[in-house]
């Protein structure tokens, strides 16, 4: 499996590879939208790749030059998928892939997932002429990942992933991940001396950030599909997106339920089924996680970050933060050399 959005291997002989419907079919892709079944070009773009023992990376920008709807069966794999900017419709076993969003300032806010699926998982993708998606997909063997589970600190969810359980973990790439990923595009294009060393080191740094976000300090990001139907997973993702679009001072549960087309009782039941906590706890934990990212990667004061996370009093924020993460928010500022302002 090469990508949740484009499962085909890059054409290395051509720095500007093109894909046709005929090539798609030769690679086991089922074209669903009819149209020209000959050599019509459907996508093109620059692609880079990294190959190491037990881990491989494909990344690039794919321009859609013709409408295309497709479905393909994927091999069993664990992979990290980072979507930097752009949009196409894509789903895996009926679960929508989280696409990047535009901020109020017009900046792309990237999205990412870690996926563990069994052999034969179904990827569907629909894109329209002119659409594009800057993306990176890091595939990892479970044997390679096993090396990092030999400590008592490995959480049960990570152990389950290594054991072959299917899972779908959504996480928010931080500024470091976005910087590393975009720099890999530039390195692949310029090919400076020892570029392979740079690409491999960047890959490992991104893998560390992804595993830490999904299985380390943010266990609430886990969204296992094993006990949820496809419709329930879609509603969970819609709930997460709604929370992420609002600050703690703006969000009202009644308005959220109305916009999502579900009662509060339904949302409560769904969150408890997926995350074993109440709806209010789920919302509070996501804002605490956002607060942690802001403490690490911004110069904003702890008081401002606490207020945006829904806490009027700094002491209440400190207590909740310590309870959730095991350390106070001020310790993160000491690590990054920033002081309270």
> Are residue 61 and residue 140 in the same domain, yes or no?
yes
Reported pTM: 0.61
Question: Would you say 120 and 145 are in contact if contact means Cβ atoms under 8 Å apart?
Answer: no
Is a pLDDT exceeding 50 seen at residue 25? Answer: yes
Is residue 137 located within the same domain as residue 281? no
Q: Tokens at residue 118, please? A: 């069994």
What mean pLDDT do residues 85-90 have? 89
Q: Determine whether 8 is exposed, middle or buried from the number of CB atoms within 10 Å of its CB (0-12, 13-18, 19+).
A: buried
5 vs 63: CA distance, rounded Å: 12
Both 57 and 164 in one domain: the answer is yes
> Do 183 and 243 fall into the same domain?
no
Is 174 part of a structural domain of the chain? Answer: yes
Q: Is residue 4 part of a domain?
A: no
Q: Are 185 and 55 within one domain?
A: yes
Structural domain range at position 184: 18-221
The 10s digit of each residue's pLDDT in 295-332 is 876 788 999 999 988 898 999 999 999 888 788 888 87
Q: Are 71 and 48 in contact (CB under 8 A)?
A: no
Q: Are residues 241 and 216 in the same domain?
A: no
- pLDDT, residue 17, reads 66
Residue 12 lies in a domain: no
Residue 235 lies in a domain: yes
Is residue 1 one of the residues assigned to a domain?
A: no
The residue from 221, 238, 264 where one domain ends is: 221
Q: Do 172 and 236 share a domain, yes or no?
A: no
Most confident of 83-87, 101-105, 283-287: 83-87
Domain count, the chain: 2
Question: Domain check: are 98 and 164 in the same one?
Answer: yes
pLDDT of 16: 53
The 10s digit of each residue's pLDDT in 209-268 is 898 888 765 444 444 444 667 677 777 777 877 887 777 777 888 888 888 888 999 999
Q: Where does a domain end: 199, 221, 243?
A: 221
Amino acid 56: pLDDT = 93
**Domain co-membership, 85 together with 197:** yes
pLDDT for the residue numbered 138: 95
> 13 lies in a domain?
no
Percent of the chain with pLDDT over 70: 83
The confidence score (pLDDT) of residue 45 equals 74
What pLDDT is attached to residue 244? 75
3-class SS string, 283-300: HHHHHHHHHHHHHHHCCC
CATH number at residue 35: 2.60.120
- Kindly state the average pLDDT of the residues 29-43: 74
Choosing from 221, 238, 257, the residue where a domain stops is: 221
Residue 193 and residue 208 share a domain: yes
Residue 166 pLDDT: 79
More confident: 15 or 267? 267
Distance CA 265, CA 311 (A): 25
Assess whether 180 and 322 both reside in one domain. Answer: no
Which CATH number characterizes residue 327's domain? Answer: 1.10.10.60
The pLDDT tens digits of the residues spanning 129-163 come to 888 899 999 999 988 988 877 655 566 677 777 87
Measured between alpha carbons, how far is 172 from 111 in angstroms, rounded to an integer?
Answer: 6
Q: Based on the domain organization, do 184 and 292 belong to the same domain? A: no
Is the pLDDT reported for residue 270 higher than 50?
Answer: yes
Query: Would 10 be classed as within a structural domain?
Result: no
Give me the chain's average pLDDT, please.
80
23 within 8 A of 101, measured Cβ to Cβ? no
pLDDT of residue 106: 76
- CB atoms under 10 Å from CB of 276, counted, come to 10
Can you state the angle between helices 314-325 and 279-297, rounded to 10 degrees? 100
């Amino acid at each position: 499996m090469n990508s949740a959005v484009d499962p085909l291997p890059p054409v290395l002989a051509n720095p500007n590879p093109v894909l046709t419907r005929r090539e798609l079919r030769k690679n086991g892709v089922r074209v669903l939208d009819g149209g020209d079944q000959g050599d019509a070009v459907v996508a093109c773009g620059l692609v880079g790749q990294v190959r190491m023992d037990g881990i491989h990376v494909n990344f690039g920008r794919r321009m859609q030059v013709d409408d295309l709807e497709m479905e393909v069966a994927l091999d069993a794999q664990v992979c990290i998928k980072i979507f930097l900017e752009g949009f196409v419709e894509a789903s895996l076993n009926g679960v929508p892939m989280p696409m990047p969003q535009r901020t109020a300032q017009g900046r792309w806010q990237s999205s990412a997932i870690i996926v563990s699926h069994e052999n034969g998982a179904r990827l569907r993708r629909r894109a329209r002429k002119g659409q594009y998606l800057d993306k990176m997909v890091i595939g990892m063997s479970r044997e390679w990942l096993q090396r990092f589970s030999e400590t008592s600190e490995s959480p049960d969810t990570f152990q389950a992933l290594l054991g072959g359980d299917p899972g779908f973990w959504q996480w928010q790439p931080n500024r470091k991940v976005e910087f590393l990923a975009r720099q890999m595009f530039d390195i692949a294009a310029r090919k400076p001396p020892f570029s392979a060393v740079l690409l491999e080191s960047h890959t490992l740094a991104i893998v560390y950030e992804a595993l830490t976000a999904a299985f380390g300090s943010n266990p609430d990001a886990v969204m296992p599909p094993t006990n949820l139907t496809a419709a329930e997973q879609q509603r969970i993702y819609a709930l997460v997106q709604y929370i992420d679009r609002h600050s703690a001072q703006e969000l009202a549960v009644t308005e959220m339920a109305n916009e999502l087309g579900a009662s509060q009782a339904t949302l409560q039941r769904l969150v408890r089924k997926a995350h074993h906590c109440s709806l209010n706890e789920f919302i509070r934990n996501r804002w605490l996680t956002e607060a942690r990212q802001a403490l690490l990667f911004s110069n904003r004061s702890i008081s401002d970050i606490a207020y945006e996370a829904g806490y009027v009093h700094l002491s209440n924020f400190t207590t909740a933060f310590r309870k959730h993460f095991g350390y106070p928010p001020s310790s993160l500022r000491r690590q990054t050399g920033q002081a309270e302002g």
